[in-house]
Chain A
Amino acid sequence: MWNRISLWLTSLVQRARFDRDLSDELEFHLRARAAHWEERGLTPREAMRRARIEFGSIDKAKAQVRDVRFGMWVAHVEQDVRYGLRMLRKHAGFTAMAVLSLGIGIGANTTIFSIVNAVLLRPVPLGHPEELVTLYERNQETAFSSLSYPDIKDVRDGAASAFTGIAASTIAIAQIDEPGGAVSVVGEAITGGSFSVLGIEPQLGRPILAEDETAHATVVMLSHGFWQRRFGGDRSVLGRELRLNGRPYTIVGIAPAEYRGGIPVITPAFYVPMIMLDDLMGVEMLDARGVHNSFARARLARGVTRAQAETVVARVAASLTGKRPDGWVPNSGFTLYPTANVRIHPQLDQILRAAAGLLLVVVGLLLLLACTNLTSFMLARALDRRREVCLRLAVGATRGALIRQLLVESLLLCMGGGAMGLALAVGLLNALLGADLHLPYGIGLDVLGLDPGPNWNVLTFAAGISVLAGALLGLVPALQSTRPDVAATLKTDNATVGAVGPLRWRNALVIAQITVSLVLLVGAGLFLRSWQQMLGVDPGFGRPPSAILSIFLPTSKFTADEARRQTRLLLERFGALPGVEAVGVTNDLPLDTSNTVIRFTVDGHVPPPGQDTFSADLAAIDGAFFDAAGVALLQGRTFSDLDTPNSEPVAIVSKATALRYWPAGDAVGRLMRASGERQTHLRVVGVAGDVDVRTRGESPRDMIYVPFTQRDNDPRRSFVARTSADASQLGLTLLKAGREIDPDLRVMETKTMAQHLAVTRMPAEVIALVMSVFGGLGLGLAALGLYGVVSYTVTTRTREVGIRMALGARAGVVVRLLASQGMRIVLIGGTIGMALSLGVMRLANGLLFGVETFDPFTLVTAPVVLGTTACLAAYLPARRASRVSPLAALRSD
């Protein structure tokens, strides 16, 4: 078969010449023969006529030669394609609608599949991934926490027998000089030899080696993306210098394009030796055990199973718990997870898989809707062509040939739809990739490694569903319309006999459509409600318009005292800016990606089993933070200049914390004992309103605020400036003002509070938007289908209507009569749809926020919307029929 096709394709090119040659050859034959007859006394005219008669049909001979040359099968398909194209051109309106709806259906599927393919299906480019395990820390909250670098070192040293090597990665943020000023880029500090542990070869130069770590070498590898963006893929960058935070690093290699680093979600711009992390960032992180900012993958030693390795690392964890170093939470452990099964993060992967499944089902349903719609249109057309088909069957065409021809027609439609869908998907993906999501450090969807240009997987998928759709679309009408009850159809004067079967099919299809679109509508309703609920939730901060400037005060550059002074200086400078009404500072913004945790005990309360402390989220702030960020102060006082490193350590607790430990409402004045490096007590001086700390709409978490003046080991500062003016320009103003004080200010990012909060709402917003679009499309397609069915009924019953009207039936009665069939379909489809929807609601419940399982609003709205649309779709064609004059109706057909 393939040989025939390739022969056909190559011959297409030579086809014109071949046909010309064949014509020439036959022409020569005829002339020679005519000459033969002329010699025998015929006039030239007679002679040629004689020659032609003798030869027989020239076209038939040509066709036979072509069959010989190109194969029967191919010749016939080619003929079918020509015929099909002619038919499609003739019905341009139908063709346009079909290609459009198929294009939308296939485009939606291809887009979603591209994303799923990039995120979940594409294999991780690692050598022998089956030998690799990803290391996580296991604690009370999760089995898959990130690690701190000292823990990784302990595992490396304590479990050396289990692994041939460990590759660790930690986020490293560096400012690099750009023409427009310094920008922050995210990179990775990796342990020397990481690339060989993971089995990855650099595409250029060499990787970071173990020797680089011993030598404290200022060497850097670039990621493919950064190399392309900043150096235009120049191969001569090796050996050149790149300044990271002002210090020159020598570029030694370029990572392969398909490798996206060792830290979930973030594609790094560069890789530096782990040992250089503290020097680069200007803080001491390599020895900070409590800071969970590292990720590690290890290669199992030959003959060691994952279970055996797990026992070895469990011993390391147990010995750590025995030694109780600072920052190690007793009874924590390590999880070894097969790296080949990790896409982003085991827990996130699970959610992503569910979301991907849901989306694929939804877009699949959408395509099914488009297909059923077209199938019913094609059925209607097949009915119209029934007499033609019967005639052809009667004169000897085989049923197979007719089916093949109808299938070719629908496949042509689907190829058109597929091409349009692919273009749509590429456009959509590019739009998605280009979208500014306001994520930190300009992270966009490109971190997913999405390739907007269609790759083989995606192309195969698009082609596959196009062909599937085509087969689905063409087969039913083809089988129906070629059923060989030839005589019956030829005898009747219209197509109503024998139409019963196809009509039943059409009705079934439209019922299915109503069902599917109701399910889609219910889904859209649920997610819209979920989004609406989320919008309604007060995160507890950020209500007034404000801007945020996040910076980093390297501990290598600032002593604790200097950092405090610098912070004060910046606060004063920002506070004096025009339009700024209040400015505050925190080390850890609520609802950002990082969380700081404090462990403590409270007299009269016993920590949970297995633990010797309680824990809560912690932020180090100044007194004006509550005012600037719009957090309510419920009791007591905020921090002031009187809270200094030398005064009594104080804290403000959230309402939830206060209620948990002092339910009588007398939290202010009480003591908590912070555990850690310094066993200090904290005097509660105030109670603040609850804020969403980690996720939007969470049930209130315990949150403790301390003055930044009394906590000096965190280099991060996020300034929040509340304004009465436009917040969108304020971030830049803050940045400029900050640079006036310190030209080398290490800026992490600037954004408005609205952008900060929008990011946390984004997943819900995106799902609600996508579901609404799909629900709307589904509704439109179903309405179109219903309209088609009722229209068709109307056309076939025009004569009956005419008689009824001639006998005095009123227009209203006729409309009701004709529309009633459509309404029956809606009723059946709606009932099935509701039943299915209840199941869907149960399934979707886990993905929803603040919506009951059987949300009454959705349960009422979705059917009403569907019902109204359906009534309209059925009413319009019925009304048209009732306006036909009885005489015209009787005369028709």
Chain B
Amino acid sequence: MAPQADLLPGTLDVLVLKAVSLGPLHGYGVLLRIEQMTQGALLVEQGALYPALFRLEQQGLLETEWGVSDNNRRAKYYQLTTTGRRRLKDGVASWNRLATAMAAALGTRTGEA
């Protein structure tokens, strides 16, 4: 397994939105999707996932529906709203700007680190 990095503050929301953007997921599914997307490189604290989900729902970015899981259990599914989709776009754009800037800034040093 690759070494894991802690999440930067604020990144969990974008990751959750991204995970859900590919289709409705229950909470555990979101966790798995993030792990899968990052190939396990990012450590998502499971306890922190649910407050984030509820916060996004509260903000109207996610909507929820109770459904039945693959193994026939009652589960709550999260889905992106239109606002959520827009927010994801913004989030991705701003993250990319930041990443480019960071990479540029860090890349100017000769890279012995």
Contact = CB atoms under 8 A, between A and B. Distances in A.
B95 interface: no
B110 to A, nearest CB: 41
Given A55-B47, A60-B47, A28 B58 contact: no
A35 interface: yes
Contacts of B51: 61, 64-65, 67-68
B18 interface: no
B51 to A, nearest CB: 4
B47 A57 contact: yes
A68 B55 contact: yes
B86 to A, nearest CB: 21
Interface in A715-741: none
Contact of B69 (A22, A28, A33): A28
A56 B45 contact: yes
Interface string A51-76: 00011111011001101110000000
A21 interface: yes
Nearest to A21: B76
Contact of B46 (A21, A28, A29, A64): A29
A26 interface: yes
A26 B31 CA distance: 13
Interface in B8-65: 26-28, 31, 45-48, 50-51, 54-55, 58
Contacts of B73: 28, 31
Contacts of A25: 26-27, 50, 75-76
Contacts of A634: none
Contacts of A28: 26-28, 69, 73-76
A304 interface: no
A24 interface: yes
A68 B58 contact: yes
B28 A65 contact: no
Q: Give the size range of A's interface with the partner.
A: 20 to 34
A68 to B, nearest CB: 4
B108 interface: no
Contacts of A57: 47
Given A25-B27, A28-B26, A35-B71, A65 B54 contact: yes
A32 interface: yes
A69 B75 contact: no
Contacts of A55: 46-47
Contact of A64 (B31, B50, B75, B76): B50
Contacts of B76: 21, 24-25, 28
A25 B30 CA distance: 13
A65 B76 CA distance: 15
A28 B46 CA distance: 13
A284 to B, nearest CB: 81
B27 to A, nearest CB: 5
A652 B89 CA distance: 109
Contact of B28 (A29, A56, A58, A68): A29
Interface string B71-97: 101111000000000000000000000
Nearest to B58: A68
A69 B58 contact: yes
A8 to B, nearest CB: 14
Q: Which of A22, A31, A32, A60 has the most CB of B within 10 A?
A: A32
Given A25-B76, A28-B69, A35-B71, A58 B47 contact: yes
Contacts of A32: 28, 69
A56 B50 CA distance: 12
A22 B64 CA distance: 13
A26 B75 contact: no
Given A28-B69, A28-B73, A61 B28 contact: no
B38 to A, nearest CB: 17
Contacts of B75: 25, 28
B50 A26 contact: yes
A140 B82 CA distance: 85
A590 to B, nearest CB: 78
27 contacts: A21-B66, A21-B76, A22-B50, A25-B27, A25-B76, A26-B50, A28-B26, A28-B27, A28-B76, A29-B26, A29-B27, A29-B28, A29-B31, A29-B50, A32-B28, A32-B69, A54-B46, A55-B47, A56-B46, A56-B47, A58-B47, A60-B47, A64-B51, A65-B51, A68-B51, A68-B55, A68-B58
Interface of B: 26-28, 31, 45-48, 50-51, 54-55, 58, 66, 69, 71, 73-76
What are the nearest 5 A-B pairs in CB distance?
A56-B47, A64-B51, A61-B47, A32-B28, A55-B46
Given A25-B76, A28-B27, A64-B48, 9 more contacts: A29-B46, A33-B46, A56-B45, A56-B46, A65-B50, A65-B51, A65-B54, A68-B51, A68-B55
